[in-house]
Amino acid sequence: MVEIINNYGLDPLRYYLLKEVSFGNDGNISKDKLESCINSDLANNYGNLCQRVITFCEKNIGLEIPKFNTFNEDDLSILNNFDNNLKKLDQEINNQNINQNELLSFFKNKGSIVSQNGSALNVSALQNIILESKFDKQKLEKVLDTCLLPKLFLKDDSINDFYNRKISTMSGGQIQRILMARSLYKGSEILIIDEGLNQLDIENEIELFDNITKLGITIIMVYHRISKSKNFNKIYKLSDKKLTRLNAN
């Protein structure tokens, strides 16, 4: 145990044990699962979220919270959802029931971030997409089509050849498609794209974005150019530390 703490840190180990082991019951613990949990949950999801949000706030508002007292219906829905689940989380912690399926489902599966410099693991394309999820061939093939990944098949390649391709052999734009596929395969209901398609050529970028806007999920996009305004019902511009709403379409 001391060796694991020295190699991976105490807090990552705590997170992994809370996630994988029910209080009072046995759990399936392995070094491979610990590393996957750290890479997918802590580094890629939470770590990347914190880094991008803090950098964005530091650059645009000097890490100061602007005064904003008017909330619309969507704002209130998000705030109430967070408040209700925070109370539920506190209750489950007190009952030593932190790994409740419903609770983990909300915090782990509801949202994903696809960023400009997202974290891809140095493993196969298939492993990068499904991570710890169960393999579902029909679901996976649908996600591949949405993310234009069949275009990456080399001539005479089979689907298994693509699945086994190492991420190190792919370009930046191809990796961004893999990361998008990971988020969609996970079943995210809220997708945050922070320059997450900027390494694709313009034709593939437009086609992929049109595909994901047809999925019926909530998409929050941070971009330096307003070229996809027709796909959004709300557009905001942040300039000189001021947030201004623009006309959609």
Kindly give the confidence (pLDDT) of every residue in the chain, 249 residues in length, as a single tens digit, with 9 standing for 90 and above. Answer: 778 888 888 888 888 887 777 666 677 778 888 888 888 778 877 787 788 788 888 887 787 777 766 777 777 777 777 777 777 777 766 776 655 455 555 545 577 888 877 777 778 888 889 887 888 989 999 999 999 988 776 555 667 787 888 888 888 888 899 999 998 998 888 888 888 888 888 888 888 988 998 898 888 888 776 555 667 778 877 777 677 777 765
210: tokens are: 């049109």
Three-state SS for 247?
Answer: coil
Identify the burial level of 132 via C-beta atoms within 10 angstroms of its C-beta, where 0-12 means exposed, 13-18 middle and 19 or more buried: exposed
End-to-end CA distance of the chain: 57
The domain boundary residue, chosen from 53, 83, 103: 103
DSSP bridge pairs for 183: none
146 lies in the same domain as 217:
yes
142 and 20 within one domain: no
Q: What does the pLDDT read at residue 43?
A: 81
> Is the domain of 76 the same as that of 49?
no
| pTM listed for this prediction | 0.60
Instruction: Report the CATH number that the domain containing residue 208 is assigned in CATH.
Output: 3.40.50.300
116 and 139 together in one domain: yes
Tokens for 13, please give them.
Answer: 């180990």
Please report the pLDDT score of residue 226 as a whole number. Answer: 57
- Number of domains observed in the structure of the chain: 3
Task: Examine the fold and report which residue of 57, 82, 103 is the final residue of a domain before the chain moves on.
Answer: 103
Task: Please tell me whether residues 134 and 200 are part of one structural domain.
Answer: yes
Does 153 lie in the same domain as 86?
no
At residue 108, the pLDDT reads 57
Question: 232 and 116, same structural domain?
Answer: yes
Q: Residue 96: what pLDDT?
A: 64
Instruction: Specify whether 128 is located in the same domain as 30.
Output: no
On whether both 82 and 21 belong to a single domain, the answer is no
> Looking at residue 248, what is its pLDDT?
63
127 with 230, same domain: the answer is yes
Question: Is the domain of 23 the same as that of 134?
Answer: no
Range of the domain at 76: 72-103
Rounded Cα–Cα distance for residues 122 and 167 (Å)? 6
Q: By the 8 A CB rule, do 38 and 113 touch?
A: no
CB atoms within 10 A of CB 36: 17
Of 39, 66, 93, the residue that ends a domain is 66
Are 151 and 226 part of one and the same domain? yes
